[in-house]
Amino acid sequence: MAAHGTLSTPFTAASTADDVLRGVDLTGVRAIVTGGSSGIRRETARALTAAGARVTLAVRNTAAGDAVAETIGRSTGRIPPRVVRLDLADRATVTRFVDAWSGPLHLLVNNAGVVTGGLERTREGWELQFATNHLGHFALAVGLHDALAEGASDRDGARIVSVSSTAHMRSGVDFDDLHFERRAYDPQIAYAQSKTANSLFAVEATRLWASDGIVANAVNPGGVATGLQRNFTRRQRESLDAAEAAGVFTYRTVEQGAATSVVAAVRPEFAHSGGHYLDDAREARTVPDDADLADHPHGVKEWALDPATAVRLWAVSTDLLRS
């Protein structure tokens, strides 16, 4: 496991994506941002484009993506992002996206995600939040490995940013019942499991792919009001309000929320170092699995960085996608 609490940057929770990118030239960088038509991912795509990157928005709603791409191009004076359809809960669209990609890839920002108010399943019978937030991104990254390796060879490394959440502190990965076939369904626990999986992906992807010049890091963007909350139940909203009242998080702007993703994407501190969990633009301190969220709102639990668990999740995810 990587050493924790050691990698810092000049930036803070108040920093914006533009602050992080000030003076950075991303000309020649090819980047993918999943779910780039709204929220933090939209701001991430805009900031990367403004710095010169050629961005692809991988979105379910291409009409919305086209509108965002046009706005980004107009506001930045840069070439607008390309828009390609991607539904992370649909393996066929992930395969089509990967098959259509040509040439090197330097940056993959896995930011798309869903929150459900009740139990929903994919056509395979997989729990929707785990299937979308983890398995879809896992399949995408594995499918794009060769493009990332090619990108690493011509720019001294390629990076994956895996967007996790403070929610990971509510649950590890339940390998005995990943898809809630036996335990009572709790959408908050299901979301938490998927966010822990996002962090574990970064751990194992770095172990497997660092020799190819590819590193992956997980990030917590912090509390940002976005469309992700639109499906919250009353209980979920009350839980979020209680967490805010307890000081677990303070709402920030989308510009601030995108900053930690951009730190993982461009800062030299993370150019060749992966398997970390970032919070407030720096590596978070690791806390025990029984730590209380209210006492450690900016920590990362051991279960989200455990190498053995990361190996197991990779194997299980591979098997599921082969089934």
Which residues are known to be catalytic?
A: 191
Nearest CA-CA partner of 9 in 234, 264, 189: 264
The per-type count for the chain, helices as H runs and strands as E runs, is 12, 10
Instruction: Give the tokens for residue 214.
Output: 């590819």
Across-strand partners of 84? 58
Integer Cα distance of 69 and 280 in angstroms: 27
Residues in Cβ contact with 217 at an 8 Å cutoff, skipping those fewer than 6 apart: 159, 160, 161, 162, 202, 206, 264, 270, 273, 274, 275, 276, 277, 278
Integer Cα distance of 168 and 278 in angstroms: 13
Nearest CA-CA partner of 216 in 226, 225, 227, 205: 205
Q: Exposed, middle or buried: residue 82 (CB in 10 Å: 0-12, 13-18, 19+)?
A: middle
Sole residue written with tokens 């798309």: 112
Cβ contact 271:319 at 8 Å? no
Integer Cα distance of 287 and 268 in angstroms: 26
CA dist 255 to 12, 18, 55, 78, 226, Å? 13, 8, 18, 19, 12
